C-alpha cells in the first residue's frame, strides 16, 4: 500500500459526490458550453446571439438560449442589452469566463493537434473488434 501526503489526499475530495467542484466540472463538460465559451474566447469580444449561432454550426436556437442563460447564471458570461429599437443584446465573457476560456481554448488546441491520432485509433479498434479472432498457439 502506497503512502500519500495530505496534498494528495486533498485533491481526491473533488471526486466526492458532494464536492462543489463537481458542479463546476459538470458545467464545463457540456459540449455547447465548451463551444460557446471557446468562441467568445477566440473572438475576444462580445458577440450577438445570431453571430454566435452562425459560428456554432449545429446549435439550435433553443440550445444556444439555454446555454447562454446557464453561463450567465454561473457568472461566466455577461449579457448586455442596449436601449435601441429593436434592442441589441451582446454576450461576452466575464473575468471568470476568460479564465475558463483559456482552459477551453487549450483543450481545443490539443483536440485539433491530436484529432487524427484519435480517429486512427478508433478506426484500428473498430477493425480489430470486427476481425475474426485468431486461435491461440
pLDDT in tens, 77-125: 999 999 999 999 999 999 999 999 999 999 999 999 999 999 999 999 9
**DSSP state, residue 55:** H
CATH of domain 6-130: 1.10.10.10
CA dihedral (53, 55, 60, 62) positive or negative: negative
pTM, 2 dp: 0.79
Distance CA 100, CA 137 (A): 53
Amino acid at each position: 500500500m502506497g503512502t500519500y501526503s495530505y496534498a494528495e489526499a486533498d485533491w481526491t475530495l473533488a471526486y466526492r459526490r458532494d464536492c462543489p467542484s463537481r458542479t463546476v466540472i459538470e458545467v464545463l463538460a457540456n459540449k455547447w458550453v465548451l463551444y460557446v465559451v471557446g468562441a467568445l474566447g477566440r473572438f475576444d469580444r462580445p458577440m450577438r446571439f445570431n453571430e454566435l449561432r452562425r459560428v456554432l454550426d449545429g446549435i439550435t436556437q433553443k440550445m444556444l438560449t439555454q446555454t447562454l442563460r446557464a453561463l450567465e447564471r454561473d457568472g461566466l458570461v455577461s449579457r448586455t442589452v442596449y436601449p435601441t429599437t429593436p434592442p441589441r443584446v451582446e454576450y461576452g465573457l466575464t473575468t471568470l469566463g476568460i479564465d475558463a476560456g483559456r482552459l477551453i481554448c487549450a483543450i481545443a488546441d490539443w483536440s485539433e493537434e491530436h484529432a487524427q491520432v484519435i480517429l486512427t485509433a478508433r478506426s484500428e479498434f473498430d477493425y480489430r473488434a470486427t476481425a475474426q479472432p485468431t486461435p491461440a498457439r
